[in-house]
Structure 1
C-alpha cells in the first residue's frame, strides 16, 4: 500500500498539478521501460544499454515513484507522485567505485545539457572533484539536483554522502508513516528536507513486478516527484525558487527550530507547496547555499552572484551532535620529533576509534548487504498493491 498517497491527500493534489511538461533525469541502475506502470513514461535514453538489469531494479523502482501510472496488474500498480511527468534514464554501475564515479560524472554532465529540469540521484559516494564540477555545471544550467543523504547500512566516508552534501543540492532524508525520522538515515547539515522512505512499495524486476523496501533512495524519488508538481504549476520559476517554496512550505520539525539535522527544513508537503502564496524568492539565489559546511574546494553554487538567504544561514539547533574535530597540529616548536610523530599517530588512532563508535551507536541492526553506497538493501518481493483510481 502506498500509505503516503493517503497521507498527502494526493487526489486533491492532482487536481492542481500532475507534473505535466516536466522531465526528471534519473541517474541510477537504468529503467525497465516495459513495466506496465512505466509504459509511455520513459524517454529514450541518451545512450544504449540503459535497461534495468541490475538486481531487483532499483532504477525502475525510483522511476515508478516519480512518474508511475498505476496501470499495472489491471489497475493495481504503483502511482508516481507526478504521473504526467517523464523520466530520462542514465544508467550507472550501482556499486560506486572508480569506474562507477566516472560513469556518474558523465551522466551528470549529460543530464546538465539535457531537457530535464530535475536530476534525481538516489545514491551517494565519497566526495570527488569531478563530481563537484559536474554538480556545478548542472546548477549553472538551471537544473534542480535532488539526492539522497544515504543510509547507515551502507556507510560513506565521514557520514557525508555526495552529491547530497554539495552546496545547493536538495539533500533528502527519510521519515516513516508517523512522520518520525527514520533511524536508518544519515543526518547532519547535508539534510535539506525529508520525505517518506519507510515501507515503500514500488515497481521492480522481481517475480510479482512489485517490491517493498526502506531507504533515502525512496524519499529522494518522492521529493523529485513533488518538485515536478510544483515546477509544472509554475513553469516560469527557476530551480532556486522551486527549492525555496519546497523548504518554506515543508512541515516544520516538531521542536519549532525550523531547521534540524534529521528532517532538515521539515517534511516535504505537496499540498502546502502547491498552495503556497508566499514569495518564491529571487530567481538567481539558491537558498541552500551557505547552509552546508563543505570546504571551499568542494563548493559549487549555481550562480557566482548567489548569496545565502537568512534561512540558509540559520545555525543548527544547539542540541545537534557536534562534528568530530581533527586534533590541532602541534605548533609549539618542540625539538622532540618523536613525541610530535607519536602524538599525531595517537590522535589518528583515537579519531578513528571515535568515528567507529559514533557510527555503531547510530546504526540500527544491520540488514542484508546493500548494492552500493547510499542505496538500499535489495527490495523484498511484494504482492501488487490495492487498486487506486486517479
Structure 2
C-alpha cells in the first residue's frame, strides 16, 4: 500500500531538514505498517530488551524532555507525561518522538506501537517557548526550560538539540542543573545542519554527549565528530510516535540516540536509586560495546555504544559519588575527553552478537600537554633548544672565569718579582781630536 503525504506535511518536513534546532533529527515518511512499529525497533531486539526489563523498566525515574512539546494524547504516551510547565502541544512532532523513545508503552495496535527503553519511567515535558512550525527557537528560552527542568523532580534532562555557538545563559543553566544532581544528556549533532564546529550543549562541562550508530554498530555518517562525544546509541531508522495522521514517523540522527540513552540511564538509575548522576555516567561509559579491535574513546562513538544489559549486570564499584568522570579529561574543552584514543581490548566474556567486553576507561584527569619542543611561545617551554641554551651559558661562564683567573695569576707573579731592571746605559767614549787640516 502506498502512503500519500500531504503538501503541508511535505513543507514541514522540508523546514525540519533545514534547521539546526534539534540534533540530527532526520524526518522521513511515516513508518510503514507492513510490519508493526515494535517490529521495526531493531535496537530493542539487539539488546534482548525483554530480558533487560526483568531487571529494570525505569520505575520511579522521571526524564525532563526539553523540546518542542509532547502530544500526551498519543496512545503510546497516555499516562506517561507528568506535566508541561512551559506549555503543551507539539507543532513539530520532535518532542513527541523523543518521549516515545524513552517511555513509550506500545499500547497502540494491541501492543504493537512504540516502546520506550524505560516504559515505567515518566517524562516531564519542558516545551521550549520559542519553537515554531519553522523550527526556530530562542536560546534563552532553552535556558529557561533547562532551569525549570533542574528545579523539577526529573533526574535526567534530555536535550536532543544542538548548536555550534556558546550561549552563556544556556551554559549557566546546564551548570545549574548539574549542580542540582541532574544527569544532562545532549545530542552530538548533525553535520549537515551544524557543520564541523564544536557542538553545544553536548560540549559543556559534565554533559553526556551522544552520537548515533546504525544497526551494524557503525557511526552514522551524518553525525558530528569531536571530543564532546561521550557515548553512542542507536539512531538510524528509528520509528517513533509523532503528531502526523499516521501517528508514527521514522527518524535518523543524534536526537534519537540521545533519547534512547536517556532511557538506558533511567533503567540504571531505577536499579540503583541511591546513586548520583556521576555514578550513573561512570557505569554507562564503563560498560559499552565496541567493534572488535576498535580503539576508544574516539571522536565518533566516544567510549563506545551504550549497552543496557551490561550496565545493569555489572557489579563493579560505581565510582565516587562526587566526581563526574567527564569533567577535566577532554583536553581544551573542560568537559572534553582526550583526543588520543586508548585501546579498549575485547575480553572473552559472552555477549550479544558483535559486542565485546572491555576494561573500564581511566577516569583520572589528563595532565596538561607540554608545549611542543620547538614552540616559540611562552617562557616555560622545555626541549632540546632550551637544554642547549642552558649548557652554552654554563660553558661560556666557565671560560670567562678561566680567562679572568689567568690574568689574575699573571698579575700576582709580576708583583712578587718587582719591576724589571732598566736597560744598560751606552758606553762613554773620550772625545777625539778634530781631523787635521793637512797644512
Q: TM-score, normalised by structure 2?
A: 0.66
Distance 1:97 1:201 in 2: 20
Distance in 1 between residues matched to 2:323 and 2:377, nearest whole Å: 41
Report deviation, 1:313.
Answer: 3.9
Return 5+ residue gaps in structure 1 as ranges: 300-308, 316-327, 332-390
- In the alignment, structure 1 residue 195 sits paired with structure 2 residue 195: no
Q: State the match for 1:239 in structure 2.
A: 277
Compared CA separation, residues 99 and 268, structure 1 to 2 (3 A): closer
Alpha-carbon spacing, 1:213–1:99, altered in 2? closer, same or farther (3 Å):
closer
Within a 5 Å distance, the mapping from 1:232-381 to structure 2 comes to 232-252=270-290, 254-294=292-332, 310-311=362-363, 313=365
Could you tell me how far 1:106 is from its partner in structure 2? 0.2
Q: Residues 99 and 58 of structure 1: is their aligned pair in 2 closer, same or farther, counting only changes over 3 Å?
A: closer
Matched, 1:81 2:81: no
Residue deviations 1:312-364, cap 9 Å, x none?
6469xxxxxxxxxxxx9999xxxxxxxxxxxxxxxxxxxxxxxxxxxxxxxxx
CA distance in 2, matches of 1:21, 1:198: 29
* Cα distance in 2 for residues equivalent to 1:213 and 1:41: 21
TM-aligned CA distance change 1:314 to 1:273, over 3 Å: farther
In the superposition, relative to structure 1, how do residues 274 and 100 fare at CA in structure 2: closer, same or farther (>3 Å)?
same
SS in 1 for 2:306: coil
Matched, 1:113 2:113: no
Q: Matches of 1:76 and 1:147 in 2, distance apart?
A: 29
- Which residue in 2 is equivalent to 1:12? 51
Q: Which residue does 1:70 correspond to in 2?
A: 106
What TM-score does the superposition give when structure 1 sets the normalisation length?
0.74
What is aligned with 2:261? 223
Inter-partner Cα distance in structure 2 for 1:121 and 1:268: 17
Work out which of the residue numbers 167, 182, 185 in structure 2 matches 1:146.
185
Cα distance, 1:86 vs structure 2: 0.2
Q: Per-residue deviation at 1:50? A: 1.8
Cα distance, 1:66 vs. partner?
A: 0.2
Matches within 5 A, 1:120-131: 120-125=158-163, 126-131=165-170
Deviation for aligned residue 1:255: 3.4
The aligned length equals 305
Q: 1:50 is matched with which residue?
A: 88
Does the aligned pair in 2 maintain the 1:170–1:192 contact within 8 Å?
A: yes
Measured after TM superposition, the shift of residue 293 of structure 1 is 3.9
- Separation (CA, whole Å) in 2 of partners of 1:312 and 1:217: 29
Cross-structure match for 2:223? 185
Given that 1:195 and 1:219 are in contact with CA atoms closer than 8 Å, whether structure 2 keeps it comes out as: yes
Cα deviations by residue, 1:260-313 (Å, 9 ceiling, x for unpaired): 1111000000000000111110000000001334556x99xxxxxxxxx94364
Q: Which has the larger radius of gyration?
A: 2
Any conservation in 1 of the 2:158–2:184 contact (CA below 8 Å)?
A: yes
Distance in 1 separating the partners of 2:125 and 2:202: 19
Cα offset, 1:215, TM superposition: 0.3
The answer to whether 1:60 aligns with 2:96 is yes
Note if 1:101 corresponds to 2:153.
Answer: no
User: How much has 1:201 moved relative to structure 2?
Assistant: 0.5
Name structure 2 gaps, 5 residues minimum. 1-39, 337-360, 368-374, 379-439
1:143–1:239 Cα contact (<8 Å) kept: yes
Q: Relative to structure 1, is the Cα distance of residues 256 and 99 closer, same or farther in structure 2, using a 3 angstrom cutoff?
A: closer
CA RMSD of aligned residues (A): 2.4
The Cα shift of 1:160 comes to 1.6
Please state how far the C-alpha of 1:128 moved relative to its aligned partner. Answer: 1.1
SS at the partner of 1:109?
Answer: helix
CA distance in 1, matches of 2:159, 2:171: 14
Aligned to 2:192, the other structure's residue is in SS state coil
User: Secondary structure of 2:184's match?
Assistant: strand
Distance 1:173 1:295 in 2: 18
Give the secondary structure class of the aligned counterpart of 1:153: helix
Residue 257 (structure 1) shift: 2.5
Q: Deviation digits for residues 9-62 of structure 1, max 9, x if unmatched?
A: 000000000000000000000000000000000012123x321123xx000000
